[in-house]
Amino acid sequence: MPPAAFATRIDLHVALGVVPGFLGAMRGGAQQWYSGTNANANAQGQPTLTVCKLDGGAWFHLHYADGTEFLVDRPGRRVWATWPEPLTVEDTATYLLGPVLGFVLLLRGTHALHASAINIGRQAIALVGPAGAGKSTTAAAFAKLGYGVLAEDVVTLAREGDELMVQPAYPCIRLWPESVEALFGTPDALPLLTPNWDKRFLDLAGEDMRFQFRSDASPLAAIYFLGDRSEGSDAPRIEAVAPQSGMIELVANAYVPYLKDKAARADEFRVLRQVMATVPLRRAIPSADVGQVSGLCEVIRDDFRELTHRDGSTSAAEQRECV
């Protein structure tokens, strides 16, 4: 995460490698709130994640099957994390910057999509899809073409009047080796994210000025659901999305749905209804050849420009602006 450029109030305290002493005393009264299903169990049959409420819900204890633990307070202002050897702080950061901070935002009343987001002109488009759909690969391909990246994997939405604003995340895109090879020539062209994992990362705040990270919130102007890869000669292509199926896919790709209570679910539906009412929903069908991902980016870009030209929401200059 980039350092703050100036001193400001602390928004979130994170303690790494330690848990507070009072945790042990509260474990006896733990109330299990969530446990991963058998489909998500590890090789030993343990759930990948178990979440318990402590002290009547004043705290949440998240325990991953690899031994990584997090303690989060109800207001979403303090987080503690600890992990066993041979895991590292880099391993723990993959949880922290994903589901844990997603849960913190949820506790604060902010919702997110399982998506990546890039800027075209002064507007944001979200690339939505489940794990393995190609969100990060497509975002990295947009970055190679000179477009600014707002967020990877977790797209946080904040309501500002009639607009939904995509909040900037952190300047890094995590990629599997096959995606690195397709984009940069060899599977080891980028550094490893952690010594215990095969994923690599693209640094958007490094010395390579081709890649840009957008640090200002941008209005959400379109959503592209990444569909199944196609062997057909007409891929990549864009398809319309019916409102009913669009709503189903938005709900399916809401972030950390398993950690939402009834009140959070109700608020989530209000946000998604606003998305449906204000943001075009499209489906992008990638080619089965991951090497054609830049072509997918160009098809999405051209479709988005046609959408914005049609409704007059951006000027011609903005449509031509790359970053």
Q: What are the structural domains of the chain?
A: 13-107 (no CATH), 111-320 (3.40.50.300)
Distance CA 269, CA 112 (A): 12
* 110: Cβ contacts below 8 Å, ≥ 6 apart: 156, 157, 158
Helix (H, G, I), strand (E, B) or coil at 224: strand
Per-residue pLDDT for 278 more than 50? yes
- Whole-angstrom distance between the N-terminal and C-terminal Cα of the chain? 21
Residue 315 is predicted with a pLDDT of: 37
Average pLDDT of the residues in 243-267 = 92
pLDDT digit string, tens, across residues 38-69:
444 555 667 899 999 999 899 999 999 999 99
Taken as a whole, the chain contains a residue count of 323
Q: Is 42 helix (H, G, I), strand (E, B) or coil?
A: coil
Long-range contacts of 44-47 (CB under 8 A, 24+ apart): none
pLDDT value, residue 320: 32
User: Residue 9: its pLDDT value, please?
Assistant: 82
The pLDDT assigned to 174 comes to 95
pLDDT top residue among 181 and 132 = 181
**Per-residue confidence (pLDDT) for residue 319, from 0 to 100:** 34
Segment 157-173 mean pLDDT = 91
- pLDDT number for residue 311: 62
Residue 105 has pLDDT above 90, yes or no: yes
CA-nearest of 311, 123, 139 to 220 is 123
Mean pLDDT of 314-322: 36
Predicted confidence (pLDDT) at residue 280 exceeds the cutoff of 90:
yes
Q: Look at residue 312 in the predicted model and tell me its pLDDT.
A: 56
Half-sphere exposure of 307 (CA within 13 A, CB side): 21
**pTM of this prediction?**
0.88
Question: 188 pLDDT band (50/70/90 cuts)?
Answer: very high
In this predicted structure, the answer to whether residue 70 has a pLDDT above a threshold of 50 is: yes
Report percent pLDDT > 90 for the chain. 71
Model confidence band, residue 293 (pLDDT cutoffs 50, 70, 90): very high
Report the 10 Å Cβ neighbour count for 243.
Answer: 10
Q: What is the pLDDT of residues 222-248, one digit of tens each?
A: 999 999 988 888 889 999 999 889 999
Separation CA 55–CA 174 (nearest Å): 36
The predicted model gives 103-119 an average pLDDT of 94
Q: What is the mean pLDDT of residues 186-205?
A: 93
The least confident of 28-37, 88-97, 232-241 is: 28-37
